[in-house]
Amino acid sequence: MHDLLRAGFARLWRAPILWLGVAFMALCGGMVCCTVRDGTQEGIVYFMGDLCRYHCIVTVFLPAVFCALFLGTEYEHGVIRNKLIAGKTRPAVYLSSLVLSLAACFLMIAAYFLPVCIIGPFFTEGLGVSPGTLAMTVVGELLMAAALCALCTLGSMLISRKAILAVTLLLAVLVGLAVGGNVAGRLGEPEHFQGLMMTEEGELVDASDMENPDYLQGREREIYQFVADFLPTGQALLYNFDMIVHPWAMCLYSLLILTASTAGGLAAFRRKDLR
């Protein structure tokens, strides 16, 4: 596996998709800092904890795009079959691809944090949360990205057609975001209406004491919360909009997805016909 990783990283450093992703995420970080600067001039208060979570929705696309364009070419050019002919085992081939995916995704995320950590402190009022909470959030975001990398790697190693792979991964991310957005939106419903409401007679009344029928309660809320905490795309939305309720559970779910998808991918890849 050492030879596979060495050759893989040598190819990775020359891959345009990696450096395009790095540049894009660095640009995202710079744009966030510019937005914060403009908001600060208008009297809005930002914290570093806010800046460290604004990348999450964009991050969910990174593994899909990278795996489709980088790992997807290995079937197209016969690279995987050549590795096996050279005596490399299927688990080693699969795991080396996963490591490359993780490395590329983490490097892109680091590119976002670079301008945020350099420029952000000049326009923010401290962390906004405890250092432990901020560290827990960043670790959770990385585990969320790792879970997505594992799922996209699984798809890349089992779908041999690059075009089908790209469409499948991007559609999966979009569907996941749609589901996560719906669930997060329901969880974000306030228990009571806020502000003023107009009655059928056209009068404005204070609605602060009126219960919101869309507010989730009891078992139904627990189910919605579990779905949001479990799905990586749901986690991305919770991190992005600061709706985190169970940070430890989210980290454990990401680890579970990472482990289960890798184990399942290894088992399926062992039986895949590469002809």
86 or 147, which is more confident?
147
Rounded average pLDDT over 211-230? 87
The percent of residues above 70 in pLDDT, for the chain, comes to 93
| Residue 250 Cα distances to 8, 79, 180, 236, 239, angstroms | 31, 36, 14, 10, 10
| Residue 234 Cα distances to 4, 93, 184, 228, angstroms | 34, 30, 7, 4
The per-residue pLDDT for 275 is 63
108 or 74, which is more confident?
108
- Of 64-78, 115-129, 197-211, 240-254, least confident by mean pLDDT is 197-211
Give, for 63, the enclosing helix (H) or strand (E): helix 61-66
Confidence tier at 82 by pLDDT (50, 70, 90): confident
- Give me 249's structure tokens: 């559970």
The per-residue pLDDT for 75 is 75
The per-residue pLDDT for 152 is 95
Confidence tier at 7 by pLDDT (50, 70, 90): confident
Helices in the chain by DSSP H: which ranges?
2-13, 16-41, 48-51, 56-59, 61-66, 72-76, 79-85, 90-119, 131-158, 162-187, 218-230, 232-240, 247-271
User: How many CA atoms, within 13 angstroms, populate the side-chain half-sphere of residue 55?
Assistant: 35
Task: Report the C-alpha gap between 6 and 189 in whole angstroms.
Answer: 50
Is the pLDDT at 114 greater than 60, yes or no?
A: yes
pTM of structure:
0.90
Q: pLDDT of 19-71, one tens digit each?
A: 999 999 999 999 999 988 888 878 788 899 889 999 999 999 999 999 999 98
Mean pLDDT of the chain: 88
The per-residue pLDDT for 72 is 85
The per-residue pLDDT for 235 is 96
What's the CA angle centered on 147, arms 233 and 182, to 5 degrees? Answer: 15
Confidence tier at 161 by pLDDT (50, 70, 90): confident
62 or 1, which is more confident?
62
* Residue with token string 């959030």: 137
Give the three-class secondary structure for 137. Answer: helix
